[in-house]
Amino acid sequence: MVPSPLPPRFCAVWISSANSVVFKQPLTCDVKGRTVIIVEDIVDSGYTMDALTRFFKEQGAKETKICTLFFKEEAFLFKGKFNIDYIARPIQNQFIVGFGLDYDELGRNLKDIYILDENPA
């Protein structure tokens, strides 16, 4: 393993109904003056990213970058307020499950990604 001058730091968060950041696992370092890269599985409305970018700014982060596996541009409500800097795959505004994404805890363990049929027969 190659030593890194910038060791990664992790935290686990969820956003409350009041759109405030709640840490399930707290930050393990001071972010003041640093660049923070948020890695997210999917960005749709953008409420979580909005709350996190505000939180890290309040903590004194120099800048915040956002990286996501999936991005639903049609559903994104914060155009012009902040950018999604790194997008692996833009997708339509449909609910997807599998590969770690779930619907009420179902479908998370599927090895592929599927579009949820919102109008089953």
Choosing from 30, 41, 44, 102, the catalytic residue is 44
- How would you list the strands of the sheet with 63-71, edge to edge? 35-43, 63-71, 86-90
Burial of 110 (0-12, 13-18, 19+ CB in 10 A): middle
Q: Is 117 a catalytic residue?
A: no
- Supply the residues annotated as catalytic: 44
